[in-house]
């Protein structure tokens, strides 16, 4: 059996199955670059405060950078006996440097170390996800710009409600993604706090300079309380919450795309580059991308729930339960990035909006009924009265297999003398949509304003 970092205090070796059970190296190797960077900053701080010599700090830095190179070249592959990434690095450092390597852990614990690593990791990944969100938004914006006057049925209760500009529908998702982008910016604020130097739980006897190491690592501030610093995972929960909301939005869009691609809707066609076939039904073309995004949403929600439950019963300060935070966070990051990328590709080159079908869909229903009521209301009929009149017209038209546009002017005037021949124009799909010109509405002028506003927001 190999010697572990702490084995001098123990009589016998760890049971091999327990060693495997206990180890996190299988997944926390993902943190290695951040662990190395954190250690370099710690070594520099130790030298600045005179706890170790400048020369020792330089040796430590060189050793740590050597490990970075080894890792990048695929030559650093610690096994289960290393326990975790922190021990793996320290052990290798001591192999490289001898006794100087053993000085690195002065005034530090794995508890503040792992907290530092995970925060550095999340800071970088949050910025990446924000970039993915920006690309997703700009593809949606582009589609919106090209489809201001393309009409699409709008639904409530999944029943035809009022027609919309397709651009307006797409811009709703641009807004959701904007909130996601801003929310991640908020999470970043509370991720950007350094726990380094909190020690195991109580701080340290060495005259360390926590502000200095925090500054080297690009942290905005440091934890005020060492117990809180090593045991806080609020920022990770907030991240998983923000990630979950991104997935909510992607999943709703996915659901719509799956419906739209069905023969019943037929609003979009899938291009071969983003669809798959069936093993038995030769005619099939399946929307796997949005289905997978919708399906993967569950795992991100699961990671949020898992971390909330991990945290709720933990006494202060560090407990090994906290080792369970990582796999969920890593998987959530990977899932969100993968889904954003796939949806961005799908939107930019994987679908075609079936314009003819969309434009005719909005002309074949009663989604202009509100506009007939509005027409009468504009001519002085109280809205509720107008609404009731139109309700009757819809009932009789349905019974006769007619649409509102099929009524003759005589029929309209029998319903109410206020109707004139301009009713036909007033209830045509284009007019109906463009007339909803209230702020934030689907009217073409409003949609153009929304697109212009979003464009300037995206530049930030």
Cβ nearer to ligand ARG, comparing 114 with 275: 114
416 is catalytic: no
- In whole angstroms, the minimum distance from the beta carbon of 325 to ligand ARG comes to 7
- Give backbone dihedrals phi and psi of 148, rounded to 5 degrees, phi first: -60, -40
Cβ nearer to ligand ARG, comparing 308 with 398: 308
User: Counting contacts by CB under 6 A, is residue 231 touching ligand ARG?
Assistant: no
SS3 (DSSP) at 316: coil
- In whole angstroms, the minimum distance from the beta carbon of 194 to ligand ARG comes to 17
The CA–CA distances, whole Å, from 137 to 330, 343, 443 equal 24, 11, 21
Q: What's the CA gap between 29 and 157, in Å, rounded?
A: 48
- Looking up tokens 């739209």 gives 260
278 is catalytic: yes
| Site map (CB under 6 A) of ligand ARG, residues 308-337, x = contact | ----------x-x-xx--------------
What single string gives the DSSP state of each residue in 155-185? Answer: EETTEEEEEEEHHHHHHHHHHHHHHHHHHHH
| Site map (CB under 6 A) of ligand ARG, residues 150-189, x = contact | ----------------------------------------
User: Cβ neighbours of residue 49 under 8 Å, at least 6 residues apart?
Assistant: 206, 207, 208, 209, 212
- In whole angstroms, the minimum distance from the beta carbon of 336 to ligand ARG comes to 22
> 419, 113 in Cβ contact below 8 A?
no
Cβ nearer to ligand ARG, comparing 331 with 457: 331
User: Cβ neighbours of residue 90 under 8 Å, at least 6 residues apart?
Assistant: 5, 101, 104, 105
Instruction: Pull the structure tokens for residue 268.
Output: 């979009």
Among 114, 184, 196, 275, contact with ligand ARG (rule: CB under 6 A): 114
> 378, 399 in Cβ contact below 8 A?
no
> 44, 213 in Cβ contact below 8 A?
yes
Q: What's the CA gap between 268 and 234, in Å, rounded?
A: 42
Cβ nearer to ligand ARG, comparing 154 with 229: 229
User: Counting contacts by CB under 6 A, is residue 339 touching ligand ARG?
Assistant: no
- In whole angstroms, the minimum distance from the beta carbon of 320 to ligand ARG comes to 6
Q: What's the CA gap between 104 and 57, in Å, rounded?
A: 8
> 454, 174 in Cβ contact below 8 A?
yes
Among 30, 35, 81, 84, contact with ligand ARG (rule: CB under 6 A): 84
User: Counting contacts by CB under 6 A, is residue 111 touching ligand ARG?
Assistant: yes
Instruction: Pull the structure tokens for residue 111.
Output: 């508890």
Give the interface size with ligand ARG as a residue count (CB under 6 A). Answer: 11
Cβ nearer to ligand ARG, comparing 118 with 358: 118
User: Counting contacts by CB under 6 A, is residue 116 touching ligand ARG?
Assistant: no
User: Counting contacts by CB under 6 A, is residue 24 touching ligand ARG?
Assistant: yes
User: Counting contacts by CB under 6 A, is residue 30 touching ligand ARG?
Assistant: no
- Selecting among 12, 157, 273, 456, the annotated active-site residue is 157
User: Counting contacts by CB under 6 A, is residue 28 touching ligand ARG?
Assistant: yes
Active-site positions? 157, 278
Query: Which residues contact ligand ARG (rule: CB under 6 A)?
Result: 24, 28, 84, 86, 110-111, 114, 318, 320, 322-323
């Amino acid at each position: 059996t190999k010697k572990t970092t702490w084995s001098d205090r123990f009589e016998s070796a760890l049971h091999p199955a327990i060693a495997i059970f206990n180890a996190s190296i299988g997944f926390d190797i993902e943190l290695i670059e951040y662990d190395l960077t954190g250690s370099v900053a710690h070594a520099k701080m130790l030298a600045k405060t005179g706890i170790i010599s400048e020369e020792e700090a330089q040796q430590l830095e060189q050793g740590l950078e050597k490990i970075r190179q080894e890792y990048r070249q695929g030559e650093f592959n610690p096994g289960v006996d290393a326990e975790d990434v922190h021990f793996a690095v320290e052990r290798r450092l001591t192999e490289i440097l001898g006794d100087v390597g053993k000085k690195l852990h002065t005034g530090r614990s794995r508890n503040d170390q792992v907290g530092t690593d995970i925060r550095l990791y999340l800071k970088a990944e949050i910025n990446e996800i924000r970039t993915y969100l920006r690309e997703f938004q700009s593809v949606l914006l582009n589609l919106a710009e090209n489809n201001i006057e393309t009409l699409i049925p709008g639904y409530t209760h999944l029943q035809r409600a009022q027609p919309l500009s397709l651009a307006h529908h797409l811009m709703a998702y641009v807004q959701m993604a904007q909130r996601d982008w801003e929310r991640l910016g908020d999470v970043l604020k509370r991720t950007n706090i350094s726990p380094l130097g909190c020690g195991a739980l109580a701080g340290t006897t060495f005259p360390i300079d926590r502000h200095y190491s925090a500054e080297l690592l690009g942290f905005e501030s440091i934890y005020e309380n060492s117990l809180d610093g090593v045991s806080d995972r609020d920022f990770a929960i907030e991240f998983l919450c923000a990630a979950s909301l991104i997935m909510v939005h992607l999943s709703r869009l996915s659901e719509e795309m799956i419906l739209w691609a069905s023969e019943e809707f037929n609003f979009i066609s899938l291009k071969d580059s983003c669809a798959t076939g069936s093993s038995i039904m030769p005619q099939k073309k399946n929307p796997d991308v949005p289905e997978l995004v919708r399906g993967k949403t569950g795992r991100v929600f699961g990671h949020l729930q898992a971390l909330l439950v991990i945290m709720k019963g933990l006494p202060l300060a560090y407990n090994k339960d906290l080792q369970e935070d990582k796999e969920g966070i890593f998987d959530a990051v990977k899932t969100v990035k993968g889904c954003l990328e796939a949806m961005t590709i799908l939107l930019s080159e994987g679908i075609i909006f079936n314009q003819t079908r969309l434009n005719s869909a909005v002309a074949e229903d009663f989604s202009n009924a509100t506009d007939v009521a509005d027409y009468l209301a504009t001519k002085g009929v109280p809205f509720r009265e107008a609404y009731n009149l139109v309700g009757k017209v819809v009932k009789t038209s349905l019974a006769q297999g007619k649409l509102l546009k099929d009524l003759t002017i005589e029929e309209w005037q029998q319903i109410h003398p206020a109707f004139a021949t301009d009713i036909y124009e007033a209830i045509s799909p284009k007019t109906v949509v463009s007339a909803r010109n209230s702020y934030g509405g689907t009217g073409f002028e409003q949609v153009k304003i929304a697109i212009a506003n979003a464009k300037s927001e995206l530049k930030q």
